[in-house]
């Protein structure tokens, strides 16, 4: 009898040990969750968010769009709109805006998810996780402006129904420089189980695919989203490309009490869609309206 070489057996075992099993929900569960506002679905497959520091400079950190804080709610009128932060000289990308505010290698503080969802057809539901910043980028040599006032970025998770009438996430769209990284769920490099999230795990384990919670790394300067780290490029031009610096110096998993439904049916969505965010035009109600074709826009 011919036996396969040992190295191939070990490789197969290693591959299997680095693949999780995403949980599924029944069609009845999906109907119930959507009828109750979708928050349970958003939380069940939500990202773990990571932030990095480069060149001894902290990044801008997600915050509230209408003057809220970890202990106070947004007030949805134009008088409470969060002011934009001014651009500073590169590499000071985090001047004048909210920073993580805790030492490196720690869980960062709370921030809100302005979420929205839509059932695109009988077999697809999409959930958008929108993050708000007071600005992005910086000035270079005092003349070139690589950023702008305000920034809205997002992850969209696509849920699909299979032939057995069961639902599970099938793809993730990670916003990046006016487009998306479009990833099959099983191709996301790092994921966590709900049990690992509840136990406070973040950086470890790595390299495990197809669990319920993707690790999303937010780039240091312009807040593009990636499923991988990259710490090799710190020049200003690279920050507007897929070489953008992103790391895992801080992390945060957003609790349900910081999810804000932000489509046009809510006070939050109406307010977010009624004010001028400058170049950051992809506000949550706009994203919700176009969510079913987001990757094609």
Q: Residue for token digits 């490789």? A: 11
The predicted model scores a pTM of 0.93
**Can you give the pLDDT at residue 250?**
98
**Can you give the pLDDT at residue 3?**
34
Q: Which two tokens stand for residue 287?
A: 């994203």
pLDDT for 253 beyond 90: yes
The confidence band for 144, taking pLDDT boundaries of 50, 70 and 90, is: low
Q: Could you tell me where the DSSP H helices lie in the chain? A: 6-17, 27-35, 39-44, 194-198, 267-274, 284-290
CB 114 within 8 A of CB 260: yes
CA dist 256 and 49 (Å) reads: 15
**Can you give the pLDDT at residue 209?**
98
Neighbours of 38 (CB within 10 A): 21
**Can you give the pLDDT at residue 143?**
62
Quick one: what percent of the chain has pLDDT higher than 90? 89
**Can you give the pLDDT at residue 145?**
65
Query: If DSSP codes are grouped into helix, strand and coil, which group holds residue 294?
Result: helix
CB 151 within 8 A of CB 135: yes
Quick one: what percent of the chain has pLDDT higher than 70? 93
**Can you give the pLDDT at residue 213?**
98
Least reliable range by pLDDT among 10-14, 53-57, 86-90, 237-241: 10-14
- For 127, half-sphere exposure in the C-beta direction (CA atoms, 13 angstrom radius) is 27
């Amino acid at each position: 009898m011919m036996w396969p070489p040992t190295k191939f057996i070990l490789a197969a075992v290693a591959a299997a040990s680095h693949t999780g099993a995403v949980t599924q929900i029944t069609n009845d569960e999906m109907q119930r969750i959507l009828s109750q506002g979708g928050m349970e679905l958003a939380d069940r497959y939500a990202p773990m968010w990571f932030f990095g520091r480069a060149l001894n400079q902290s990044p801008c950190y997600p915050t509230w769009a209408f003057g809220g804080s970890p202990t106070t709610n947004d007030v949805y009128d134009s008088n409470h709109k969060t002011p934009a932060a001014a651009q500073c000289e590169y590499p000071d990308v985090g001047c004048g805006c909210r920073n993580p505010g805790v030492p490196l290698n720690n869980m960062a503080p709370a921030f809100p998810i302005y979420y929205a969802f839509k059932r695109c057809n009988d077999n697809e539901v999409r959930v958008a996780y929108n993050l708000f910043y007071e600005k992005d980028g910086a000035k270079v040599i005092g003349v070139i402006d690589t950023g702008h006032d305000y920034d809205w970025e997002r992850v969209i998770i696509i849920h699909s129904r299979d032939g057995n009438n069961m639902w599970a996430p099938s793809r993730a769209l990670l916003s990046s420089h006016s487009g998306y990284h479009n990833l099959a769920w099983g191709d996301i490099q790092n994921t966590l189980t709900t049990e690992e999230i509840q136990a406070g795990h973040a950086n470890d384990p790595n390299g495990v695919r197809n669990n319920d919670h993707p690790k999303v790394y937010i780039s240091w300067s312009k807040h593009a989203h990636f499923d991988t780290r990259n710490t090799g490029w710190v020049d200003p031009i690279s920050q507007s490309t897929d070489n953008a610096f992103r790391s895992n110096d801080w992390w945060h998993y957003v609790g349900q009490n910081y999810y804000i439904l932000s489509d046009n049916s809510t006070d939050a969505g109406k307010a977010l869609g009624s004010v001028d965010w400058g170049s950051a035009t992809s506000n949550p109600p706009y994203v919700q309206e176009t969510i079913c074709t987001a990757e094609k826009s």
